Homo-oligomer: A and B are copies of this chain.
Amino acid sequence: MKFNQNDRDTLLNLLNWRRDVRHFETTPIPNEQVDQLLQAIELAPSVGNSRPWRFIKVESHEIRKQVYQNFAASNVSAADIYSDDELQKYNELKLAGLKEAPLHLAVFTDMNPELGKGLGRQTMPETLLYSTVTAIHNLWLMARSLNIGVGWVSILNPDKFNQIIDVPEDWQFTGYLCLGYPKFDADTPELHEKSWQKNVKTNWIVR
């Protein structure tokens, strides 16, 4: 299989227009599209083909409420390190779309997966987590191609998540995703637009 310039342009467009979305419409995502997301997850790389990602659709209102409370408390604590203008700016940022997003995914990594026979992860077991992150990123790009927005919420106390979601102790909480149709599109990060942190160029380092 050889890819061409049209394919590269499409990929570059997807990368350019993929955003961390926090402003969602409440319109539900059809099941057919949700399953296209699963198809993308399946195609992620994983260390030793261990496929350690665990994706949980959080439908329970009670669990969603606990996640929101966890976020709200963590966000109040997080604001503590800022003062004056920065604190005001922080508090004006919308950092999650938990209340509006129709689809919530809690993502864990099985740190002791049956598959893969341990290959590739003896010296760097964190590659299990990295495998899950590539699965999330596959989902993110597939979502963007379906014009669905994804927001990754990390202002959370991870210690409580295995209990909140009710999953085994050796699954490590990796991320919480909000999905839905976005209120608007953008080709630059919201934190850049809102002058929290401008984009800064990456350069190769040579040794």
Contacts and interface: CB of A to CB of B under 8 A. Distances in A.
Contact of A43 (B18, B47, B74, B152): B18
A40 B15 contact: yes
Contacts of A81: 118, 122
A66 to B, nearest CB: 11
Contact of A123 (B36, B74, B122): B74
Interface string A180-205: 00000101010110001111111111
Nearest to A138: B15
Given A8-B142, A42-B202, A14 B3 contact: yes
Contacts of A18: 43, 45
B197 A116 contact: yes
A207 B171 CA distance: 15
Q: Copies per complex?
A: 2
A29 to B, nearest CB: 13
B63 A196 contact: no
Contacts of A147: 2-3
Interface string A159-182: 000000111000000110000000
Interface of A: 1-3, 6-8, 10-18, 20, 34, 36, 38-45, 47-51, 53-60, 63, 74, 77-78, 81-82, 86, 90, 93, 95, 106, 115-124, 126-127, 129-130, 133-134, 137-138, 140-142, 144-147, 152, 154-158, 165-167, 174-175, 185, 187, 189, 191-192, 196-207
14 contacts: A2-B147, A6-B10, A7-B13, A8-B145, A34-B204, A38-B203, A38-B204, A48-B191, A55-B204, A116-B197, A120-B154, A127-B175, A133-B134, A134-B134
